[in-house]
Structure 1
Amino acid sequence: GQVVVQQLARAKQLLSNITNLVPGLLTARYLSARVLFLSGDALGAISMLQHCLKQDSTYGEAHLLLAQVYQHNGNHSEASQCLEAALSYDFELREHPLYHLIKAISLKESGQTKESIQTLKMALALPGVKRPSSSLNKQGVRKEIATSDRMSIFLELVEAHTANNEQHEAAKVMQDAMIAFQGTPEEMRVKIANAELAVTRGDIEQALSSLNSITPDQPFYAQAKEKMAHIYLHHRKDKKLFTSCYRELVKLDPSPHACLLLGDAYMSIQEPEKAIEVYEKALKKNPSDTILASKIGQALIKTHDFKKVNISFLLAFNNTTIRKLLYYSYSHTICIQAITYYETALKNGKRNSMRYELAELLIQLENYDKAERVLLQASRDEEGELETAMNETRRLMLLATLYEKSGRHSDELDALTQARDTQARVLKRVQMERKAAAPPQAALAASICAKMAQHCQLHENDTQQAIKYYKEALVYDRDDTKLMLDLARLYLSAGDLDSCQQNCMAVLRQSNNNNNDQASMMMADVMFNKKQYNDAIYHYEQLLSARPNNYEALARLIVLLRRGGRLRDTPKYLELAKVRVGESKVELDAGYQYCNGLYQWYCGKANAAVEMFNLARCDSDWSEKSLENMIRICLNPDKSTVGGEAFENVQGSGKDDTNSLSTAERLIKEFKTSDPFKVQMLDGLVLVATKHKPHAERALAIFLEIAQKKNNYVPAILGMAVSYVIMKQTPKARNQLKRIVKMQWTAEEADEFEHAWLLLADLYIQASKYDMALELLKKCLEHNQSCCKAYEYSGFICEKQLAYKDAASHYEKAWEFSNHSSAVIGLFLIIFQCVCCKTALRYKLAFNYLKAKRNSDAIDIAHQVLATNPNYPRLKKDILDKARASIRI
């Protein structure tokens, strides 16, 4: 607060003596309230005025002052109510300038600038405003208008004209004010206001000249220096001159308040070390000042955030462990210092705001037990002051964060539910008591609902409940495009394509020139799901034509091209991005490397894909996706149907996966994600990839645990099915896969759905249930027209049914979508005797060409196989020689 000047302190003491001697003298209490208000003690002033009005509800001037105090606190609705009450008891107050001033400010805050100007002009026209004078009311009591109130009317009118873009009128009123208050203490206020007006005109030199004319021995010197500091920082961009203004204030008056201003100035330009030094000096002079203790705590945290450790010092140590220990030691020391300051402040005062800052720091340090104790000790009074109710929402949100980070998800939802209910009550009160605060409070209510939606989606897999919470969030903040996009994404995953499209269109309408990439990409996804493949791809092409290096759009287009059977079109988009970025820079562009890696992976070039993803994972934006893809390649480099056995006899199973699995395990340790189940899933998949029964049993336990926590989670159900297959419990595996078949397909889990359909088709093929298998394979191709495995299984079924022409057609498609790639695939050594699946695929293709009497095609394929595998079993005898003989005949 502001430093109480000696005159106010003396007046306060005199009035206190009078009220003690004559408690019923309301004029003394009214003046005491005015002194408290001028001293910065708004709550004390309100209490004193309420006491006056309890004794005499017709005391009009007390109503007026109470309205002024409420308005100063930003509570404009309460101020308006006080004005109405004042007028109902004393209609003469309409002739009081203060009444018009308060009304004008309320009008301005509600956006009625023209009406505010009219009201202020009426105030200026009243006697005693333009020139000091006094008048008698009906009771013969002399009424005098305070000079500060007269000044406020002039300045409010200047501000209103400026807000209404009436610069000439504002300048005229300012000129009148300079004449009216020349030679008075308020003259300095006019100079400061004139400087502000000059800044709005862009005349920085005049503003600084006007402020420099105020000397240290004149009133409002501190305010002038603060205004100069603001100009130096925001208009001159000069940090040295900015801090020098506050240093001069401290030099002139080294009070705690001046030190607080200087410390805050250092904090605003991110120099927390200097701020701490200033705060500590002030704290030594006033050890009981809880605000200073809190400021030091905040500054220490800022030091930790911005400086952390001298990087060059740490890099001098080659050993990573030593670096980490040094960093931890430094960070720990800083944070312990901050905690000490906060705890000291809490002992000296019961301010909940400091308690919450301490809790935030403890959560950051992962000291959850102590953070919970600190938060549970906070005072709670939702029915009391509005600020207290707002603090209760903050407390509950911190508890929710704490529970989320400590894995107590049911407690997290309880805390969020309480926060939502508390914030709903806060909103009702804000609408009545403080309308200006309503928008940010509504945004907070929306964010709470959004967090509840995310919780339902992430931890309970309850899409419908999440949709309800997002809808509730949009009731509070209907223009939040992020909320609208999150809701659209949920609609898409739930298969409600029309609702998704409506939300995306609403976002695009709201965005400038329909420029919202996320909404445009989701519209393309909707079109793809509606089987409008070319329209969906066209949507992405439009985005990339404007910005070829929009890698998020490019990555999603590559996925879409693959699903649409047009993966061959990808290189041209990669080339466009390369041209935009520049060939020399593109190798360092993580987004480009990720997209290229995705393309290489889909083309069956696992080694090249891993190289690309390895480059991309160094970038924070692409790290999570790249690492996950690398892990999945290590687990299944040739994209075989894990758990499938239909081709086992033909393709063999002699592959040594030891190196790839150990690489996957190492990468999982580096993997960081916000999804609490993803790391567990990958651990389970590593166990499944070994294809050993004991490991499969351990994997099954992991998948069962995830499935219990997250209902209908497709990856976990698929993991259970694969585990059952390896454990030779086929009926159980089939039951789990049938569950997935009945579920709504989602783009996020597209690979898991495809794997499940292929595995169930494999089981049906083994049981000779070819029709049921073909239905599942059609489902695969419906969602991914490049699914090589679906074509291969289809060819296998046709072969079994002796439909060799159809089999050849399917195998031809399978070979085409395997990108005619080398027979030797995978990241690690493959035993020479192992028959590679793609070589086997070519053998089948050649064999079926022979059966279909396409002898020349059979010979071409046979030569391609022999080029990479000269010793391929029976190929020359069974296919090449027979095809040649048929041609001769």
Structure 2
Amino acid sequence: MDSESDDNPNDPEDRKKWGHKDVEHWRAVSNVHYYAREGYFGTAILVCDGRLATIKDPALAILKGVCLTLLGKIPDAIRHLETFVTDNDVALGALHALKWAHASAFNPDNKSIVEIETEISTRARNEKTPYTSYATASEVLYFAGEYQKSKQMLDIARKRATEKHAKHYCLLGWIELALGKKQKSTQELFEKAGGQEYPDGNIGRCKILEGHHSAPEMKVAANELAISTIHFLPGHIEKAKASIMMKDWRGVMDCIMNADQPEGSNPYIEVLRTVHGICYAGEVSMLKRTLQLLLKSLDENEATNHVLYARITKLLVSISGRDEKILRHARDFLTRALKISRKPDYVALSMRIAFGLGGAKEVSTLSQELVALDCEDSYAVLSSVVSMLMISRVSDARAQFDILPSAHPKLLESPLYYLIASVLAKQSKDKSFENFRQHIENLVEMLRNQLQSFPFGLDYLSLFSSDLLYSAVEQCFDFYPLVPIKAPDDCMKLTAKTLQMIYDVAPGLAHCTLQLARNSYLCSNTNAAEKWIEKVLDKDDSLADAHILRAELILDRGGKITDADDALVTGLNFNFKLRETSLYHLIKSKTFKKRNENDEAIKTLKMALQIPRKEPSKNLFQPKESADTHKISVQLELIDTLQHMKRIQEAETTMTDALAEWAGQPEQDQLVIAQAQLYLTKGHVERALGILKKIQPGQSNFHLSRIKMAEIYLEEKKDKRMFAACYRELLKVEATPGSYSLLGDAFMKVQEPEDAINFYEQALKMQSKDVQLAEKIGEAYVMAHLYSKAVNFYESSMNIYKDKNMRLKLANLLLKLRNFEKCEKVLRAPFERDPEPVGTETIQTYIQFLLLLAECHEMMDNVPEAMNDFEKAKSLHSRIQDKTLTAALKKEGARICNLQAELLYRRREFSQAVDICKQALAYHETDLKANLLLSKIFKEENKWTLVLQPCQTVIQVDPHNDEANSILADFYYIRSEAAHASTSYTTLLNTNPQHWHALSRVVELFCRNGEQNAAEKHLDRAKEVNPRCVTESGYNVCRGRFEWYTGDQNEALRYYSRTKDSAAGWREKALYYMIDICLNPDNEIIIDENSVENPETTIVEEASEQQKLAKYYLDLLGKLPTTDRFLLAQNFIRMHTTDKSAIQAALDEFNRMAFNADRSQVTNVGAVFGVARGHVLLKQVQKAKTVLKMVNGRVWNFDDSDYLEKCWLMLADIYINQNKNDQAVTFLDLVFKYNCNCLKAFELYGYMREKEQKYVEAYKMYEKAFMATKERNPGFGYKLAFTYLKAKRLFACIETCQKVLDLNPQYPKIKKEIMDKAKALIRT
């Protein structure tokens, strides 16, 4: 019965009831099936023995026989199975297993096989044979690899059974999976089995999800299994595998711990522990024990399973990164396999290990053995070539290497082939780096393609070949610069890409990460180098070379010499042989030089030169790095130090000796270029040019010298003419397409595209099929603003080269030129010719066409069509992902969704945008754009509870993401978590001092916390970074707010006024702040003589003027009175008068806004303050107090903060006037709790203590107020001086009076009434 019939509602199978659940039997069978499928046959037998020792279980006993056969223990299998051939319930299964065992014997007993076949035929035709017998036979045939026969047997078993059996559904699922049927119906079979709590059904679900690269769903399924089925180890193993797929290495170790198995008891668990240890943990001290535990576990459980030993060996070698310790341990595993069977593949694997360890003799021996064996493994086929290159027999190796691909075409798909090709390229006559680079690129790309279809897991890691990748990296060392260069060259980029590939898979390989640090250091990216070194030491702090590089880095960055010394000593402690290297002495000399101990530096460098040169290895796979090429760097450093000490003659002698020593060797060319680079780093530009000019045509480094000279002329001397002249000289000597192209690049670099076009065209004439050159010409036309020529050129090139990239460039240009119709036509053309593209690369290009088409349709305002384009792109992408879903494809799927979501976001269609963002996250759950867009949408919808999770996801991936940190800080701000908010805003300002939104928040938070100096530092820093920021609205609002907090309202008004015609957001804030200042209810403006002489008239006039000015600012807002803030401002302006009717009208409006319908709840704190203010103005103080009490107990938040503060201050003021000072203190303390810099609170507190004649407490409050205003507010100065006088602090009183008079010489009464009295009291 086919699985398709399971979907048929009329299927008789569906009408049957489910059979009895035999939980213990199911668990045992599921365990055995799992280990047998995974190749752990010995472990499967132990599971069988464990159950069979206590209970009779014929079906399980048959499985034991199957495992014995798979393990190669044929006599044992036959003896075991013969006892079950008469058991009617399992006879068919026993007979099939017995036949398989006989057929697997070294000398099969054909007579017995014929007899067994006859018995099988008889029993199969017998109608009385029970369904269990057929089901057992199906199991046996499945493990024998006879899937079609297995399916036939299972169909009979299901027909004859009177009940449905979960075991049958599950087995059918595994058979269909083996037959390549991964359709939905297979998954449904596993789900039905799992639904009956049959453990292997859930394992099947995990397998399908693994094949779909659906790690999160796989982890959920495995977790359900681990929880629901007690002591079922495969559930924990599958969960660990899902964690590996997600690269959740900590999760892997959690699964191992949760499995709760004694160390070394289960080989599969130990494999996972070892993979975690090598790929992630990287703890060298623990790794030896981990590998020993794995070996012990295999010896105890799988002692005769040579296939498993070999498989684990291959895994270890593949993830070793060619680490010597790991390779030596891997050899121990392989030795066990080779003792049992000397299969050719095992010998080839032994060859791979010997090659990785650099054992030329062993490689030679194994090569001779492999030649006699029939083995297609690339290490076997290429063994003799490898052997020859390891003893420098280049010509013999090349001759054999050239003919091998014709006999073994599959070699061209082997990464090892390209590694050998790269070594031979370095040994060719022209020593072409370009050829070498191409071979390494091929190696990396070939490996990437082979891995593409595999989910990230144990099989992926077995194929990964980090040992080969690291060998490729080592080959690049010979092209490394000797001293740091300004920007990475092709070699450094290639190496970084290869190393990053290793790091992405195995961050625990510290020696590989160290090379990333070294690469960054040589590219002058010291920050990245420092980070990589931290990662290296985090994994392996005993790596001496990491400490040495750290010392070098500290010195180059101008760090503390003691830190560099400490790093050197630490490195030396871990590897004392470092004393025998030039590098150690080179760094040591630099520490002396930093201390100005130049004689010691020279002495150390000369000692380094006396170190005997190591004999260069004949092994061409070994880089020259190990032969200590740092000697050249020592010579250059010695020359530089001698020049620094004016010992010119000695410096020249040293240079001459160095050139003589390296004459005729590749190092000589590097020496000259490195010397020029050294001069550049010291700022000696002319010296560098002088050395490079001496290199003449015909010398090997002429080409490189002229490129370096051009770089110096452009970047150091800003001389475009000489920059071009260097390339013209190259062209004169080497009139090749490459030289013309280089000259074109040079003119593009100096923004002269017309000249570049001429040289590009000349190159294209000589090399007409070069698509990249054609692309460069098109780009030059665009840069020259020759758009019609660019369009014509792209159109003709598109037709000539049939290149899809040309079509994209043409469409992009047409889009920029807003020629939408033609752009649409160009992009639609491929779909009209081929509506159903085939092939991954073609489909990916078509997706790019659709994305550009969507952009075009959006710009044409045809949004439905744009959305349709996105859906088509997603549909095409799903066709690729059905075949294979790599990390890159996941990111591409997320990118398509993000572009669609951004379109919806721009159109304010938030709900749809959220749905699309979730689709993006299904592809890539940590995708920055999707998470960031979700955060922005939730923020705009004011759904702050939903903002945090996507925002934190972004910050975990990119801790310095400006936008995410800003949203997170706003989240804390809205939640009134001031400490978190200020930390987040400060982080933003450290990165970008002109982040005005963050600055405005920081000013408010710091000033409220009494940290005005800290707030002012941020304002000053913004001004230091960009002095012109004083014209920007953001800065002026921030500065105005700071001045307001420090009591200078006139200065605040001046800053706010600068924003009136600026950006809308800041302009609106400034206008509201200016209205607040104008409506200052206590008329806190500097008092002049006129106001003192005519107080009542002045107050009325000022109120009128302030009201007019506030009304003017309100009109500038240009808004309809719809927002609460606008209505509040409008009614406070109406209330700012002596007209009682106007006050009453405003009061009525405030009453309407302040409360809900039954006046039981406050809805607007600002309106409550307005109500109270109105009552006070109308002399209804008791009513004001009653209203203000309604905000008591309201949770403080930043939105209501200003008005809550005003309410509390008004209540305190009322209580003080009623002589209820204790109640007043309660509210003043409440104000200080949230704003410890509140000037009005200081004033009221001081006034209250004055009334009580407690002048010491009064002047302490006025002191705080005067300090908070930076001693600029004469009103507080006056009150402080008065209370000093009353408290008999006469000198402080006089000093304060003088400060006030310095600010305002005409300040009334202070001299006569306070200062003179204080002086008189001193005299008496």
Greater Cα radius of gyration, structure 1 or 2: 2
TM-score by length of 1: 0.49
Greater length-normalized contact order (CA 8 Å, ≥ 6 residues apart): 1
TM-score by length of 2: 0.35
